[in-house]
Amino acid sequence: MNFDKMLIRCSSLGLVCGDGRSIGLTDKMQQELKELQAKDKLTDKQAQKVEELMERSKCKNEFSLSQTAMSYVQELVDQKVFKYTTSLDSKELDKGILCEDESIDLDNAINFTNYKKNEVQMFNEYISGTCDVLTPKDINFVNEHKVSWSKKTFPKTKKDAYSFLYEVQQHGYMELFDRDNAKLIYSLINTPDHLIPAYEDISLHIMDDVPLHLRQKTLTIERSSFMWDKIKGKVLECRRYANWYYEGIINDTI
């Protein structure tokens, strides 16, 4: 078993594309080392500190991945080795799945379009995914719908709506479906009755009293060759880490 051709789902790209935390010198440590080395004479304690910092500066991350990314890859490998699958289960996720079509209908009503749910899954050498809506090539968008859990959690500003996890996801879709733009669309949709907790006021979950144009918040994202290069690099690093982790499990070396 090897993971040289492992694909990362677009929905998980944000987990693997974060920057790895260096185990070498921090910026503050580098400045301290520079200041100590500039001194004409050092105390014994300062000389020891220089030695410690110099030794630490030699440390490098073995993998250019964040801890989140490594944990995610470990889970993928574990599922293959021990032959199991997992599924997420939450009322927020359930609402997103159940109300996705209504979110698309809301977008059509607001923007006078007639889009349908995309069912086509795409693959390339690095990633896989299924965007929510694929617009015609002349319109040149992939659209991703996020159904907010309640009026309280709905992002009221574009700043609140921004998410690195969702942004990277859209870059994956743009590459897979060859579109130059993506829309990240948050929607206020009535929560199905059976999902509303008894401890939450029902007014948080009934959206019909909100004007139509306020029930949607949209961010537009442009395709980026820089971001795609970063995604490719992280996927390759995930494969390298997956192979290392797998060998460590099999050979009992980690």
* 238-250 tens-digit pLDDT: 999 999 999 999 9
Model confidence over 84-115: pLDDT tens digits?
A: 998 878 999 999 999 999 999 999 999 999 99
Residue 30 lies in a domain: no
The token duo for 170 is: 């859209």
Residue 54 lies in a domain: no
Residue 31 lies in a domain: no
Question: Considering its fold, how many domains does the chain have in total?
Answer: 1
Residue 107 lies in a domain: yes
Please check the confidence at residue 61 and state whether its pLDDT lies above 70. no
- Provide the residue range defining the domain that includes 126: 1-21+61-254
122-123 and 133-134 as β-strands: parallel, antiparallel, unpaired? unpaired
How far apart are alpha carbons 99 and 154 in whole angstroms? 15
Query: What CATH number did the domain enclosing 148 receive?
Result: 3.90.320.10
Question: Residue 226 contacts by C-beta under 8 Å, 6 or more apart in sequence?
Answer: none
The token duo for 137 is: 């090539």
User: What is the pLDDT, as a whole number, of residue 18?
Assistant: 85
Residue 252 lies in a domain: yes
Please check the confidence at residue 60 and state whether its pLDDT lies above 70. no
Residue 50 lies in a domain: no
Residue 235 lies in a domain: yes
